[in-house]
């Protein structure tokens, strides 16, 4: 199953605070981070896109302003994050630079993955970073996130990022090496599950309850993360980061629990487009474009003859032929007003007409689902 990691095109690696920050001294565990960076560079060397989701800002920051180990008030929490995040980003930047790579800090808030417009912007930025060979290092923007509007934990954040970027593998590095049938600390019969193919109530029960001794390792949020990631077509793995070179160990078959996705990220995305989204409008296409779509091409502005309805950028629209028959559905890269202005034109004219350089395609083929038959 380790081929799921070595063979993935795009991998999200989530790193928990307990791995990065020494619990006693509150200091960054630098040698561990150096070793992790080696693993990540090796993955990049194989041509894989790697995105890091890292916790640790609050754990580092609270030590730097001597906030002690007790419960923090919201504003103390946010202050600790503001201080710790600088140190965290600096550490990543240094270890990556020492290996010839550029790190990029990206701080997300809940709305960045839940609101279509912000989602598209965040996705665009991350795609641009990856295209240029940078390694995004993502955390929640804890200094502005209040309890009502936060992911709350980076397991869920990492799963949202995985789905947003169409990643095919999500690795949660944690202080446990996977999901056990019972609490391993207290039950000698507890067994590690190597693979979970379906998240049943029984599996949920194994994760324990939030706040229980067994659940305090965060297994509940990991199962929620698995549901999101697997639903978006990524295999997810929970593995121990307690050792140096944890990704290398995982590639070589270390203990872990895999949550298996049944579809690819593109297939999962297409199912979501075809089945879940309500179309807000339609684009009429000429016969040439209709033929191009059937042969797997994207929909370009040049082949569109009409724009119907009111829709925003990233909204779902129907694609219809000149007789009004639905050919498919997809996510439109322009809002209806801009779409109206560029239809019938060559993609290279878009910038001149709109005053900005958008996508060449009105609907990219990865965002397009054709009606079968
Ligand atoms: N965003 C928090 C931090 O950087 C961590 C959240 C989590 O551990 O899941 O400290």
* Pocket perturbation via mutation, ligand 1, pick of 62, 107, 140, 143 by most ligand atoms within 8 A of CB: 140
Q: Is 285 exposed, middle or buried (0-12, 13-18, 19+ CB in 10 A)?
A: buried
Query: By three-state DSSP, how is residue 130 classified?
Result: helix
Distance CA 120, CA 139 (A): 18
d(CA 308, CA 283): 6
CA–CA separation, 236 and 172 (whole Å)? 8
Domains of the chain in start order, with CATH, are: 3-267 (3.40.1160.10), 277-370 (2.30.130.10)
**Minimum-distance ligand 1 atom for the alpha carbon of 140:** 1
Residues with CB under 6 A from ligand 1: 17, 55-59, 81, 139-140, 142, 153-154
For the chain, the straight-line distance linking the first and the last C-alpha, in angstroms and rounded, comes to 36
Give the count of beta carbons closer than 10 Å to the beta carbon of residue 11: 25
And the tokens for 218? 């965060």
pLDDT at 373: 52
What does 84-96 look like in DSSP terms, one character per residue?
HHHHHHHHHHHHH
Residue with CA nearest ligand 1 atom 7? 153
Which residue shows structure tokens 């009429």?
284
Q: Whose CA is nearest to atom 9 of ligand 1?
A: 153
Torsions phi, psi for 11 (to 5 deg): -120, 135
In the beta sheet, which residues pair with residue 38?
A: none
Please give the chain's pLDDT, 373 residues, in tens.
889 999 999 999 999 999 999 988 899 999 999 999 999 999 999 999 999 999 999 999 998 888 877 788 888 889 999 999 999 999 999 999 999 999 999 999 888 887 777 888 899 899 999 999 999 999 999 888 776 677 778 999 999 999 999 999 999 999 889 999 988 888 888 999 999 999 999 998 888 755 443 333 488 899 999 999 999 999 999 999 999 999 999 999 999 999 999 899 988 888 888 887 789 999 999 999 999 999 999 999 999 999 999 999 989 999 999 999 999 999 999 999 999 999 999 999 999 999 998 899 999 998 899 987 5
Query: Across all residues in the chain, what is the average pLDDT?
Result: 91
Of 46, 22, 76, 71, the residue nearest 248 (C-alpha): 46
Nearest to 199 by CA among 238, 228, 175, 178: 228
Q: Are 123 and 359 in contact (CB under 8 A)?
A: no
DSSP state of 372: P
56: left (phi > 0), else alpha (psi -120 to 50), else beta? left
Q: What is the DSSP letter of 300?
A: P
Q: Give the β-pairing of 316-320 and 326-331.
A: antiparallel
The distance from CA 313 to its chain's CA centroid, rounded to whole angstroms, is 20
Q: Which atom of ligand 1 sits closest to the CA of residue 142?
A: 1
Q: Which of 313, 318, 262, 320 is nearest to 289 (CA)?
A: 320
CB-based contacts of 204-209 (< 8 A; 24+ apart in sequence):
206/179, 206/180, 206/181, 206/182, 207/179, 208/183
Residue 74 phi, psi (nearest 5): -55, -45
Rounded to 5°, the CA angle 116-120-124 comes to 170
Give the separation between CA 236 and CA 192, rounded to whole angstroms: 16
Q: How far is the CA of 202 from the centre of ligand 1 (A)?
A: 28
């Amino acid at each position: 199953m380790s081929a799921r990691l070595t063979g993935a095109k795009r991998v999200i690696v989530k790193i928990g605070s307990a791995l990065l920050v020494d619990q006693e001294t509150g200091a960054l565990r630098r040698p561990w981070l150096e070793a992790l960076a080696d693993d990540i560079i090796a993955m990049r060397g194989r041509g894989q896109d790697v995105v890091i989701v890292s916790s640790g800002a609050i754990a580092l920051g609270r030590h730097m302003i001597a906030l002690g180990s007790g419960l923090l008030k919201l504003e103390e929490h946010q202050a600790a994050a503001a201080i710790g995040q600088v140190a965290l980003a600096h550490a990543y930047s240094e270890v990556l630079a020492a290996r010839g790579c550029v790190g990029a800090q990206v701080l997300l808030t809940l709305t960045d993955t839940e609101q279509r417009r912000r989602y598209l912007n965040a996705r665009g930025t991350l795609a641009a970073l990856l295209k240029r060979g940078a390694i995004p290092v993502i955390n929640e923007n804890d200094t502005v996130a209040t309890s009502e509007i936060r992911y709350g934990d980076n397991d869920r954040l990492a799963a949202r990022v995985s789905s947003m970027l169409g990643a095919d593998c999500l690795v949660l590095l944690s202080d446990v090496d996977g999901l056990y049938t019972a609490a391993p600390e207290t039950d000698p019969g507890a067994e590690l599950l190597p693979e979970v193919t379906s998240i049943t109530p029984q599996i949920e029960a194994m994760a324990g309850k939030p706040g229980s001794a067994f659940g305090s390792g965060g297994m509940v949020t990991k199962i929620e993360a698995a549901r999101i990631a697997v639903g978006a077509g990524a295999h997810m793995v929970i593995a121990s980061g307690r050792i140096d070179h944890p990704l290398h160990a995982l590639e070589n078959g270390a203990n872990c629990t895999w949550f298996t996705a049944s579809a690819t990220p593109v297939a999962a995305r297409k199912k979501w487009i075809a089945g879940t989204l309500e179309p807000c409008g339609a684009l009429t296409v000429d016969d040439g474009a209709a033929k191009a779509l059937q042969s797997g091409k994207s929909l370009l502005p040049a082949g569109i003859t009409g724009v119907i309805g009111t829709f925003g950028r990233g909204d779902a629209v129907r694609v219809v032929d000149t007789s009004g028959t639905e050919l498919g559905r997809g996510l439109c890269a322009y809002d209806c007003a801009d779409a109206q202005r560029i239809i019938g034109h060559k993609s290279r004219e878009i910038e001149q007409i709109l005053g900005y350089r958008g996508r060449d395609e009105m609907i990219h083929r990865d965002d397009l689902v054709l009606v079968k038959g």
